[in-house]
Each structure stands twice: as structure tokens, then as C-alpha cells.
Amino acid sequence: MNESSRICIQVQSVYVASQSVPAEERYVFAYTITIRNLGRDSIQLLNRYWLITNGNGRETEVQGEGVIGEQPHIAAGSEFQYTSGAILETPMGTMQGYYEMQDTEGQRFQVDIPVFRLAIESCIH
């Protein structure tokens, strides 16, 4: 079993109406990601890559070190959760990507983040 299959990624997204301005084609979404380390060894999240696609098919790539200014270490059997956001010009879109991780021996591996929706109907009132 490879290291990436021991990592579980869960995503929840919501529309943030209070920060959105539909008349100006500004739709703000927040997403919370939980990364669970089901393996036996500690890992570190080094980098992220996102492909964000709006409702018109326009794609934006985002990549960089860590998440929310951190490169967290996630101990075996524990999890790391963070919330971030995306701004689209359309009321719906998708995100997908991957994290680059490193194990305790310095081996790097990639963990894919499946496609998830950003949509107004996921709004919480």
C-alpha cells in the first residue's frame, strides 16, 4: 500500500452570500478540508495545487507552499483541518487538485483531491 492511499481527504464547501456581489459577478465560496492520516507514520504537507473552473469553463491554476500559510505535520492517526476560500465570476464551479506530502524518511508523494462543487445551492442560512 502506498503512502497516498493512507491519506483521506474530506471537503465541504459553502456559498458565502455576505461577501458575494452577484451584480458584479463576484461569488465567494468557503471550503473546509479535513486531511486524515490513516498511516503509521507522520507526514508533512509541503505544497498545494488547485485547478479552479468557473461555470463558463474558465480555468485558474493556484499553487504554492503549504495551506493557509502553514506546512503542517500530521501525526499518524490524526487529522488537520483548515478553511479557505475561492472567488468565482459565476454562481457555480468546481475545484480539484493535489497536495504534495513528505513522509518521515523524506520521500515525497502526491495525494489527489477529487473534484468538488462550488455552488450557490450549497448555501447554509
Question: Can you give the pLDDT at residue 111?
Answer: 97
Q: Structural domain boundaries of the chain?
A: 3-118
pLDDT digits (tens, 9 = 90+) for 5-20: 799 999 999 999 999 9
Residue 2 reports pLDDT greater than 60: no
The rounded percent of the chain whose pLDDT value lies above 70 is 94
CATH superfamily of 3-118: ApaG domain (2.60.40.1470)
Question: Distance (Å, rounded) from C-alpha 60 to C-alpha 51?
Answer: 6
Question: Can you give the pLDDT at residue 46?
Answer: 98
Averaged pLDDT, 117-125: 71
pLDDT digits (tens, 9 = 90+) for 52-76: 999 999 999 999 999 999 999 999 9
Question: Can you give the pLDDT at residue 63?
Answer: 97
pLDDT digits (tens, 9 = 90+) for 72-90: 999 999 999 999 999 999 9
Cell of 62: 493556484
Q: Are 43 and 35 in contact (CB under 8 A)?
A: no
Cβ neighbours, 10 Å, residue 109? 17
